[in-house]
Structure 1
Amino acid sequence: MIAERAPAKKVFALAIPALGVLCAEPLYVLVDTAVVGHLGALPLAGLALGGVILSQISTQLTFLSYGTTSRTARLHGAGRREEAVSEGVQATWLAIAVGLVLVLAGQLLAAPIAKALSGSDDIAAASVSWLRIALCGAPLILVTMAGNGWMRGVQDAARPLRYVLLGNGISAVLCPVLVYAAGWGLEGSAAANVVAQVISASLFLRALAAERVPLRPRPAVMRAQLSLGRDLVLRSLAFQACFISAAAVAARTSTAAVGAHQIVLQLWTFLSLVLDSVAIAAQSLVGAALGGGRRHQAKGVAAQITGYGLIFGCVLCAVFAVVSQVLPHAFTSDPGVLREIPNAWWFFVALQPIAGVVFALDGVLLGAGDAAFLRTATLVSAAIGFLPLIWISLAFGWGLAGIWTGLSAFMVLRLAAVLARWRSGHWAVVGAVR
C-alpha cells in the first residue's frame, strides 16, 4: 500500500506561520536589547539577567502549547471540533492559574534569585526592578501559549501569527517611547513587554470566546493535560541541565571560549526554531490523522515530515559550511574568539542534518501524544551522552571541542531513539484521546 502524504502546500501553510510565531519573541528581544543597551552597561546587565529568569519560566511551561496541540489535533481529526476547542479552554484556565502563582512567587523570590545568579548587588537591583514588572505578564504569556496550542491543533496557523506579531510590533514601537521619551528607563522596557502580552493574550481570549464553547473549568481534562505536561517539563529540564552545564564548562575554559560558545550556540538556537516549525506542522497533521483513525496516513505524514527535516538540515549544513570564514566576523572582531569558533563551528555544521531528522520526529511523536517516550529518551541521552562528556571535557581540558562532542553524542543518541521508535510503529495509536 502506498503511504498517504499530506500536500506540501498544507505542510508549509502550517510550518511557515509557526516559524513566524517562534521567531517573533527573539526578534522582539533584540529590539528591546538595542533600546536598553543605550542606557548603559548596568541596565543592559539587569535586562539580560531578568530576561533569562523570565525565559526559563516560559521554557519550562511549553506543554501549554505543545501538549495542547497534541490533544486538540486528535479531537479535530475525529471531527469533534467543539471538544478540540474545549481543550484550549482548559489549557487557558491552567495558564491563568499557574501564571497567577508565578506572579505571586516571583514578587517574593525575584530579589534572592537575582542576587544568587548575578553575584552583584547593583545588577541584581536593576534586574529585580525589571523583573517585578515583567512578571505581571506571566499569566498572559501562558495564555498565549495555550492559544497557540489549540489553534495549531485545529490547523489554524495564520491567526496566532497575526496576534503575536501585532502584540510584539506595538510593543517594539512603544518600548523606546517609554524608555526614553517617558523617562521610565529600564522599567519602561518591562512595561512595554507587558503591553505586548496584554494585546496578544486578549486576542487569543477573544478568539476562544468566539467559538461559543462552554468556558467552565473541567478538572478531569486539566489533570490529563498536566499528566502530559509533566513529561514535557522533565524533558525540558534535561535540555536546560545540558546547556547550563555546557555554558559553565565553557566559562571555566577561557573568556574567548565562552564568547565563541555563545555565538555558535545562538546560531544553533535560531536554526532549531527554523527546523522546529516543520515539527509543529507534524504535530498537527499526525495528531489529526490518528484522531480520525487514519493510522496509515499518520505513518505516511511522519515519513514525509522526516524527509523534509533531513532535506532542510542538509541545506543548512551546506550553507553554514560555505559561510564559515565570513559569518563569525559579523558577531565579533576579537582575535581570540575567532580562533576558538572553529572548535565548535564544524560540530554545529555537521549536526544540522541530524537535528533536522530529530526535530521532525520529535514533532511526529508529540503529535501522537508519545511524550513519555520522548521524556525518557531525552533524559537517558543527557545522562549517558551529554553530561558525562561535558564534565570529562572540563577535567581533561578538551575545551570547546569536548563540549560540542558532548552535544553531538546527545543528538546522536536522540536520533537513534526516535528513529527506532518511529520504525516500530508503536507510537501510532489511533483514537481521539490518548
Structure 2
Amino acid sequence: MAQEVSEPENNPPGEGKTLNRKILSLAVPSLGSLLAEPLMVVADSAMIGHVGTTELAGLTLASSINVFIVGLCIFLVYTTTAVASRQLGAGDRRGAVKTGVDGAWLGLLVGMVIAVVLAVGAAPIVGLFGASPAVTFQGAAYLRAAAPSMVGMMLVLAGTGAMRGQLDARTPLVISLTGAIANVALNAALIFGAGLGVTGAGLGTSLASLGMGVAFGVKIIKGALGARVSLRPEFWAIFGALKGGIPLMIRTLTMQIVILATLWVAASQGEVEVAGRQIAATTWTIAANLHDAIAIATQALIGFELGRADRPAVRALIKRTSAWGIGLGIILGLVIAGTSLWWPWVFTSDPAVLEAATLALAVSAVFQPLAGIVFVFDGILIGANDTWYLALAGLVNLAVYVPALVAVWRFAGSGATGLAWLWGCYCGVFFLARLATLGRRIRQDTWMRLT
C-alpha cells in the first residue's frame, strides 16, 4: 500500500504533527479524488449544453439516475472505511486489508447487476420523470451507453473505501484524477469528433469508469499479496458487509429521494428550469466535495481514535473539524457568489437558462456555511459506524423536507424565481433538518462505542 502503519505501534498517523496537519494530510489528497466525478459531470454538461438545451435536460435526468445509484451504494466506501480504520487503529493491518478485498468482490457483483438493469430498462426508467418525449429520448440514450460504467464505479467505491480505511488517500487521488482527465478526452472525441451527442458522453463515461475500476482492482490485489492476505472471496464476509450496509443504504436512499424529488419538481416547472437546476446542482456538488474532503479526513481519524479508545482525542477532533467546515463554507459561499454571473456561461448561452442558474447559484452561496458543518457532522457519525442512527435521521429529514417541497411545487411557480425557491428549499430546509438531527446525536457520547 502507498502508506503503511506499523503493526506493533498503535499510534495515530503523523505522530508529532498538529491536528490541522493530520486533517490536511488526508483531506487534500481526498479532495482530488472527490472532485474527479463532479468534474466528469461538469465536462459532460458543458459539452452537451452547447449541443442543445434538450440534450442537456436529457443528460440531467439520466445522470441524476446514475448519481442516485452511486449514492445508494456509497456504503461500499463508508462501511469499508469505518471497519478498516478501526482495525488499523487496533493494530490489525491484515484484517484491514482483507476488509478491502471483500468489499471489492461485493462491488464487482453489485456493479454487474446494476449495469444489466440500466442497459435493459433505460427508456422506462428515464420515463419516470414525466419529461417531454424529446428529453426522455436523449436521457435514455445516455443512460443506456453509460450502463457499463456502473461496474467500474462500484469497484471505485469499494477501492476508495479500502484505501481510505488504511489511511491511504493518495491512491484514490491518482486513479480518480487520471480517470477524470481520460473522460474529458474521450467525451470530446465521441461527442464532437464522432458526432454521437449524448450517446458519446455515456460511452466516454463508461470507458473512463471501467479503467478506474481496473486500476483499483490491481491496487487491491497487490496490497493483499504484500500483506499475505487471501484474494479468495469469503461470501460470509461479503454478505455480512452487505447486511451491515443496509442502514447506510436507507440513509442514502432518503437523501437520493430528496434529490430526485427536487429534480421532479424542476422537471414539472419546465425544460429551462431543469437545465438551470443542472448548473446549480453541478456547482453545489463541486462545493459539496470540497466539504466532503474534510468529512473524509474526519471519518478516518475518528475511526482510528475510536480504535485506540481515546475519547479526549475524539472530542478535540470534532471541535477542530467543525471549525474547518464552517470556515470552508464561508469561503465557498463568497467564491460562488462572486462567480455566479459568468460561471453559467460555461454550460449554456440560453438567456433564460442563464438567468435561472445565476439566481440559483446566489441561493447556493448563502447556504455554504450550513453545508460545511453538516458534512463534518455526517463524517463523524460515519467514522464511528453509527449507521442505524444515520438511517433514522435520514427518515426524519425526509419527513421534514417533503411538506416544504410540496409547498414549493404548489405555490412557487416557474421561471428563475420558481427555481430559486426550489433550490432554497433543498439547500435550506433539508440541510437545516440534517443539522438538527446530526447535532443532537453528536452532543451525546453513546455513539462512540470505544473499543
| Equivalent residue, structure 1, for 2:36 | 24
* 1:421 counterpart = 2:433: no
Cα deviations across residues 31-64 of structure 1 (Å, max 9, x unaligned)? 3344455666666555444333323221211111
Unaligned stretches of 5+ residues in structure 2: 1-15
Does the CA contact (< 8 Å) of 1:390 and 1:403 recur in 2? no
Alignment of 1:293-308 (within 5 A): 293-308=309-324
Shift of 1:311: 1.6
Alignment match of 1:152 (pick from 148, 164, 174):
164
**More displaced, 31-40 or 50-59?**
31-40
* 1:52 counterpart = 2:68: no
Shift of 1:173: 2.2
With normalisation by structure 1, the TM-score equals 0.86
For 1:264 and 1:231, how far apart are their aligned partners in 2? 29
Does the CA contact (< 8 Å) of 1:79 and 1:292 recur in 2? no
Alignment match of 1:363 (pick from 363, 373, 379):
379
Shift of 1:390: 1.7
For 2:344 and 2:44, how far apart are their aligned partners in 1? 23
Does the CA contact (< 8 Å) of 2:190 and 2:204 recur in 1? yes
**More displaced, 318-327 or 220-229?**
318-327
Alignment of 1:39-118 (within 5 A): 47-117=59-129
Alignment of 1:211-250 (within 5 A): 211=223, 212=225, 213-250=229-266
| Equivalent residue, structure 2, for 1:390 | 405
Quick one: which amino acid aligns to residue 300 of structure 1? A
Q: 1:417 to 1:125 in 2, by over 3 A?
A: closer
Cα deviations across residues 177-203 of structure 1 (Å, max 9, x unaligned)? 345555666544433322212321122
Shift of 1:168: 2.7
Shift of 1:140: 1.6
Quick one: which amino acid aligns to residue 375 of structure 2? F
Cα deviations across residues 290-344 of structure 1 (Å, max 9, x unaligned)? 1222232222212211121122123333444556677677777777667767875
| Equivalent residue, structure 1, for 2:390 | 374
For 1:332 and 1:226, how far apart are their aligned partners in 2? 41
For 1:272 and 1:265, how far apart are their aligned partners in 2? 10
Does the CA contact (< 8 Å) of 1:354 and 1:411 recur in 2? yes
* 1:268 counterpart = 2:278: no
For 1:345 and 1:402, how far apart are their aligned partners in 2? 12
Quick one: which amino acid aligns to residue 199 of structure 1? G
For 2:330 and 2:311, how far apart are their aligned partners in 1? 29
Q: 1:390 to 1:48 in 2, by over 3 A?
A: closer
For 2:280 and 2:50, how far apart are their aligned partners in 1? 25
Q: CA RMSD in A?
A: 3.2
For 2:333 and 2:366, how far apart are their aligned partners in 1? 6
Does the CA contact (< 8 Å) of 2:50 and 2:348 recur in 1? no
Quick one: which amino acid aligns to residue 350 of structure 1? V
Alignment of 1:334-373 (within 5 A): 347-373=363-389
For 1:347 and 1:133, how far apart are their aligned partners in 2? 34
| Equivalent residue, structure 2, for 1:174 | 186
Shift of 1:362: 0.6
Does the CA contact (< 8 Å) of 1:347 and 1:405 recur in 2? no
For 2:270 and 2:134, how far apart are their aligned partners in 1? 25
Shift of 1:392: 2.3
Quick one: which amino acid aligns to residue 389 of structure 1? A
Give the % identical residues.
33
Unaligned stretches of 5+ residues in structure 1: none
| Equivalent residue, structure 2, for 1:285 | 301
For 1:219 and 1:423, how far apart are their aligned partners in 2? 38
For 2:425 and 2:68, how far apart are their aligned partners in 1? 25
Does the CA contact (< 8 Å) of 2:108 and 2:155 recur in 1? yes
The residue matched to 1:374 in structure 2 has which SS? helix
Cα deviations across residues 95-128 of structure 1 (Å, max 9, x unaligned)? 1111121122223322322344465555555544
Quick one: which amino acid aligns to residue 427 of structure 1? W
For 1:256 and 1:44, how far apart are their aligned partners in 2? 10
Alignment match of 1:132 (pick from 144, 149, 152):
144
Shift of 1:371: 1.6
The residue matched to 2:245 in structure 1 has which SS? helix
The residue matched to 1:215 in structure 2 has which SS? coil
Shift of 1:348: 3.2
